[in-house]
Amino acid sequence: MLIFGMGYTGTRLREALLERGWRVTGVRREASEGVLAFDDVAGVRAAIARATHILSSVPPDAAGDDPVLACYGTDIATALARWAGYLSSTGVYGDTGGAWVDEGAPLGSGRRSARARADAEWQMLRAAVTIFRLPGIYGPGRSALDRVREGRAHRIALPGQVFSRIHVDDIVSAMLASFDGPHGVYNIADNAPSSQNEVIEHACILLGLPYPPLHTLDDVKLNPQARAFYAENRRVANGRAKRILGWHPRYPDYRTGLSELAAASD
C-alpha cells in the first residue's frame, strides 16, 4: 500500500494494515521512517510502480488544485496497482437544508468546490477508482470529548441544523472492505445524523461536566472555516456502501463512538 497524506486517517489505515502483515509506504511533506518526502520524485514514482494499492487523502491546496494529481497523476493513471482510492468529502454536496443525500446528488454547489473538482478528476483518472466521501471525522484524540475537556466546545442555537459524522476506524473498515469489492463512489457516514449540540451535550454527560452556554452563531468567535461549517445542513445516506461492500459501521451513532472513547480514557 502507498498512502499519500499520512494524516489522521492515513496513519490509522497504516496501523491497521501493518497489523495484517502489509508493507506500507507513506508520502508526506517530510521523509521519516517508512515515509517518503512528497518532493522525492524518483522515490515516489518507484513506490507507485511497485504498489498494489494506492490511496490519496491529500486535499486540494490553497490554489484549489490537487497536488497529488498535479505531480503524480500520470504515474498513478498508468500504474499496475489493482486498487486506487481517494478520500473525498461530503462537503461536495453543499447545503441541502437538512435533506438526505446519496452518491447521485449534484456536486459543487457548496464551500468545497475545489474538493468537488478533485473528486471528479480522481474518478476520471483510471478505469477503476474508489472514492470515499467522508463527513466530520472523529476518533481517539479528536472528538467532542477532547473539545469539552479543553474548553473548546460550543453549543450554538441553530434549530434544525444536523450533520453527519464517522469514526475513523469505520473509515478504515470501509477501505478494507472495498479492496475486494466493486469500485465506485461511497458515502461513509454513520447511521444517525444529528445536531452538533447533541454531540457536545452527550460528551459533557460522559465526562460529568456542565454543558457549555448556548450562544448564537454571531456570539461565538469562529474562524472562517468553522463558521462555514455551520452554513451547511444535510444528512448523508450510507446505504450504498452497506449494500455493495457489505460494510456496516461499528459505531452506528455518536453515542456508541463517544462512549467507547470515554471508557478507553478512564
Give per-residue pLDDT as tens, 194-214: 999 999 999 999 999 999 999
Q: Which residue has the higher pLDDT, 109 or 248?
A: 248
φ, ψ at 228 (rounded to 5°): -65, -30
Chain centroid to Cα 32, Å, comes to 24
pLDDT at 21 over 80: yes
Q: Exposed/middle/buried for 32, CB within 10 Å: 0-12, 13-18, 19+?
A: exposed
Q: Are 92 and 234 in contact (CB under 8 A)?
A: no
Chain centroid to Cα 67, Å, comes to 18
What pTM does this model have?
A: 0.95
pLDDT digits over 134-180, tens only? Answer: 999 999 999 999 999 999 999 999 888 999 999 999 999 999 999 99
As a dihedral over the C-alpha atoms of residue 138, residue 140, residue 142, residue 147, rounded to 10 degrees, the angle is: 110
Cα–Cα nearest to 194, from 252, 134, 242, 240: 252
- pLDDT of 13 reads 98
Burial pattern 14-24, b for ≥16 Cβ within 10 A else e, equals: bebbeeeeeeb
